[in-house]
Amino acid sequence: MVAYYEEAVRCSRAQLGERRFAEAFHAGTRLDLEESVRLALSAEQPPAAGRSELSRREQQVAGLVAEGLTNREIADRLVLSQRTVETHVSRIMTKLDLGSRAQLAVWVVRRDG
């Protein structure tokens, strides 16, 4: 299994770059077992080509951030834990290389036209 793990890490680093890999890895270490399993089981297929690099759930969370909802409000609306929402927001920000929720809101507005 070690060889598979090392190959996955190598491919992930190559795909994400060292900074984004380190951020994502660090975010993953903060998850407890229940959150890790829930996140793994909720993983969705990537969106259709040309849409964006976010999963459908991430697009949904990004839209609610753009509406001005807090993580707690998003969690309540989507029936998720606040920590799961925090993880989604962190992954979105990393994927899009954004530094603030305001930048994410601008990205959503531009994406949606």
45: in domain? yes
pTM comes to: 0.56
By the 10 Å C-beta count (0-12 exposed, 13-18 middle, 19+ buried), 16 is classed as middle
Per-residue buried b or exposed e for 20-51, using 16+ beta carbons within 10 Å of the residue's own CB: ebebbeeeeeebeeebeebbeeeeeeeeeeee
CATH of the domain at 55: 1.10.10.10
Alpha helices, H only, the chain: 2-16, 18-29, 33-42, 56-66, 71-78, 82-96, 101-112
* 20 domain residue, yes or no: no
In a domain, 3, yes or no: no
* Tens of pLDDT, residue by residue, the chain (113 residues): 888 888 888 888 888 888 888 888 888 888 888 887 777 776 554 444 334 588 889 999 999 999 999 999 999 999 999 999 999 999 999 988 888 999 999 889 888 86
Residue 11 lies in a domain: no
